[in-house]
C-alpha cells in the first residue's frame, strides 16, 4: 500500500476555503493583494527581500529592486482594474430570431478555477514566483507555492513573508527538492504554472495529464537576434549588452546568439567588446569586489554546477574564437563567470544547440536575411523571444513573417515582456499559456458562458413545432434550416 501524500491535507484545506466562496469575493481579493503589497514595501521588507536575493545570486541592490518593482506594479495594476475584469462580459445572442429586446442576453463570466500551483524559478526567485500568484489571487483562486530550492534564502523569505502577510487558509508554501516537488505534482490542482527548462516542462505536463490539469509553461529556448546591415549599430549594441549583463544573462528572454550581416560584422563585433568593457569594466571589476553593494550591477552564477555547465560549452571544440572573457577568468568557488564573447562557433556544437542561460554572447556572421532565417530555424524554430535590429521595414517584416517566437521586439532587447498591457508567454518548444495583467487574470479564470432567456415567450433555439411527439421533425423546420445554410454560402 502506498503512503498517503504528505501535502494532501494542505491541498484539502485550500479546496475547503475555495468551496466556501470567500476567494470569489472581490473585497477579499483586493484585501489580499493589498497585504501582498505590504509584504514587499512595509518597514524594512524591501531591504530583506533584496538581501535574500543577493545571498542567492550575488550582485547588488539594483537587480533585486528592479525585480520587486515588477511585482509591485502588477499588484497595483490588478487593484486598479479588477472590478472591470471580473464583471460579466456581454456577448451577442447568436440567434436574433428568438430575441426579446432587453430580456434575453448572453454573458461570459470570469470564474475562478480553484486551487492553483505555481512552481518558481531560481533566476528571478521573487518575480517568477509571485507574478503568476498576483494574477491567480486577482482571479479569485487559492494558491499553492513551491519556491526554487536553488535560491534557498529567497525561498525561505517566500515562506516566512507569506505566512506573515497572506491568509494561510488560502495561500500555502511548500519547500523542498525533487522528492517534494514530485509529491506536490501528484496532487490534483486546477491549474499549474511553471517557469523552467523544456525537460522540466515535460515532467510537469506528464503529471498534469493524470488529472487533465491545464498548465502555463514558460520554458525559454535559444533566442535569436537578427542584425541587418541597415541597423543603428551603436544603439543596437548598447541595448543588447545592457540586457545581456542583466542577471549575468540568466533569464529566459535574454538574447542567446546574434546573426549579423557580414557587411557590418567587424564594426558590430568591435562595438560589442568596447561596450561590455564600458558597462562592466575589466574582468576584475566584473567580480564586484570593489563596488558598493548598493550600486553593483553584474552578479554571480547561481551555483558551481551552472558555472561548470558554462565552462563545458567553451571547453568543447566549438571552432569559434573567444575574443573577450573566457576560461582564464572563471572562478567556480566564487561562482564567477566573466562576460564572454565567442565569434562564429560551428553549428551543431553546444554553443549553438544548448540554451546559454549565462553571460556568453555568440556572434554568427551571415550573408543575408535568407541565411539568417534558415540558420535560426535550424537551431530552434520556436524560441521564447526574437529580436530584430533594422531600419529596413522590409527586412524586419520578412523576419517576423518567417520566424516564430513567443514574443518579439524590434530595435530593443527583452523590453517586450516588461508590461502588463500585453501577454507574456511561449510558443511551441518554448511553452504555452500567457500571463501579466488582464491576460493573467483571464489565464487563471474559467470563461463561463451563461444564457439568460425570458419567460415571456415559448420560442427557443428549437422551434415550437418540434415539440410534437412521434420522432418527427416538421418539413417546414428542415426547409427553414436549409435556407439559412444556403444563404450563408459564398
Report CA-CA distances (Å) from 223 to 120, 356, 366: 21, 9, 17
Buried b (16+ CB within 10 A) or exposed e, 2-18: eeeeebeebbebbbebb
Angle at 437 between CA 432 and CA 439, to 5 degrees: 40
> Phi and psi (nearest 5°) for 193?
-125, 135
DSSP symbol at 331 = B
- CA proximity to 326, closest of 366, 275, 286: 286
Round to whole Å and give the CA distance between 129 and 254.
19
- C-alpha atoms less than 13 angstroms from C-alpha of 241 in its C-beta half-sphere: 23
Extract the C-alpha cell encoding 13: 484545506
Q: In terms of Cα–Cα distance, which of 66, 193, 90 is closest to 137?
A: 193
Please identify every residue annotated as catalytic.
218, 252
Give the C-alpha separation, 147 to 152, whole Å.
8
3-state secondary structure of 195: strand
CB-side exposure of 93: number of CA atoms within 13 Å?
A: 16
| Residue among 180, 125, 184 at smallest CA distance from 156 | 125
Classify strands 360-366 and 340-343 as parallel, antiparallel or unpaired: parallel
Which among 5, 393, 439 has a CA at the least distance from the CA of 216? 439
Whether residue 361 contacts residue 209, with contact meaning beta carbons closer than 8 Å, is answered with no
Amino acid at each position: 500500500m502506498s503512503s498517503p501524500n504528505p501535502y494532501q491535507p494542505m491541498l484539502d484545506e485550500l479546496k475547503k476555503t475555495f468551496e466556501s466562496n470567500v476567494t470569489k469575493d472581490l473585497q477579499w481579493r483586493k484585501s489580499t493583494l493589498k497585504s501582498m503589497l505590504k509584504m514587499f514595501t512595509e518597514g524594512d521588507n524591501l531591504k530583506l527581500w533584496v538581501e535574500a536575493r543577493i545571498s542567492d545570486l550575488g550582485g547588488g541592490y539594483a537587480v533585486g529592486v528592479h525585480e520587486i518593482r515588477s511585482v509591485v506594479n502588477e499588484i497595483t495594476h490588478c487593484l486598479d482594474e479588477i472590478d472591470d475584469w471580473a464583471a460579466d462580459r456581454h456577448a451577442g445572442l447568436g440567434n436574433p430570431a428568438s430575441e426579446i429586446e432587453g430580456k434575453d442576453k448572453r454573458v461570459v463570466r470570469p470564474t475562478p478555477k480553484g486551487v492553483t500551483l505555481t512552481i518558481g524559478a531560481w533566476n528571478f526567485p521573487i518575480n517568477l514566483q509571485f507574478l503568476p500568484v498576483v494574477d491567480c489571487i486577482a482571479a479569485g483562486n487559492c494558491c499553492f507555492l513551491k519556491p526554487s530550492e536553488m535560491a534557498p534564502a529567497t525561498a525561505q523569505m517566500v515562506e516566512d513573508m507569506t505566512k506573515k502577510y497572506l491568509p494561510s487558509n488560502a495561500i500555502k508554501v511548500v519547500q523542498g527538492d525533487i522528492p517534494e516537488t514530485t509529491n506536490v505534482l501528484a496532487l490534483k490542482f486546477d491549474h499549474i504554472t511553471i517557469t523552467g527548462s523544456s525537460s522540466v516542462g515535460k515532467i510537469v505536463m506528464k503529471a498534469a495529464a493524470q488529472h487533465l490539469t491545464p498548465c502555463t509553461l514558460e520554458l525559454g529556448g535559444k533566442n535569436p537576434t537578427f542584425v541587418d546591415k541597415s541597423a543603428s549599430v551603436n544603439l543596437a549594441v548598447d541595448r543588447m549588452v545592457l540586457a545581456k549583463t542583466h542577471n549575468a544573462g540568466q533569464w529566459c528572454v535574454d538574447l542567446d546568439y546574434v546573426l549579423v550581416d557580414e557587411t557590418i560584422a567587424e564594426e558590430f563585433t568591435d562595438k560589442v567588446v568596447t561596450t561590455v568593457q564600458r558597462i562592466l569594466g575589466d574582468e576584475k571589476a566584473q567580480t564586484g569586489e570593489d563596488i558598493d553593494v548598493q550600486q553593483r550591477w553584474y552578479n554571480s552564477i547561481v551555483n558551481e554546477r551552472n558555472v561548470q555547465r558554462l565552462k563545458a560549452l567553451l571547453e568543447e571544440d566549438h571552432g569559434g574564437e573567444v575574443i573577450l572573457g573566457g576560461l582564464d577568468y572563471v572562478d567556480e568557488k566564487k561562482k564567477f563567470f566573466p562576460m564572454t564573447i565567442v565569434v562564429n562557433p560551428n553549428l551543431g556544437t553546444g554553443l549553438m544547440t544548448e540554451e546559454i542561460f549565462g553571460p556568453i554572447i555568440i556572434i554568427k556572421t551571415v550573408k543575408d536575411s535568407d541565411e539568417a532565417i534558415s540558420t535560426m530555424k535550424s537551431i530552434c524554430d520556436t524560441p521564447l523571444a526574437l529580436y530584430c535590429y533594422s531600419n529596413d521595414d522590409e527586412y524586419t517584416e520578412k523576419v517576423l513573417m518567417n520566424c516564430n517566437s513567443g514574443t518579439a521586439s524590434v530595435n530593443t532587447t527583452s523590453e517586450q515582456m516588461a508590461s502588463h498591457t500585453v501577454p507574456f508567454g511561449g510558443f511551441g518548444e518554448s511553452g504555452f499559456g500567457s500571463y501579466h495583467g488582464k491576460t493573467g487574470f483571464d489565464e487563471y479564470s474559467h470563461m463561463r458562458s451563461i444564457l439568460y432567456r425570458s419567460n415571456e415567450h415559448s420560442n427557443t433555439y428549437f422551434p415550437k413545432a418540434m415539440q410534437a411527439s412521434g420522432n418527427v421533425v416538421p418539413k417546414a423546420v428542415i426547409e427553414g434550416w436549409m435556407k439559412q445554410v444556403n444563404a450563408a454560402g459564398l
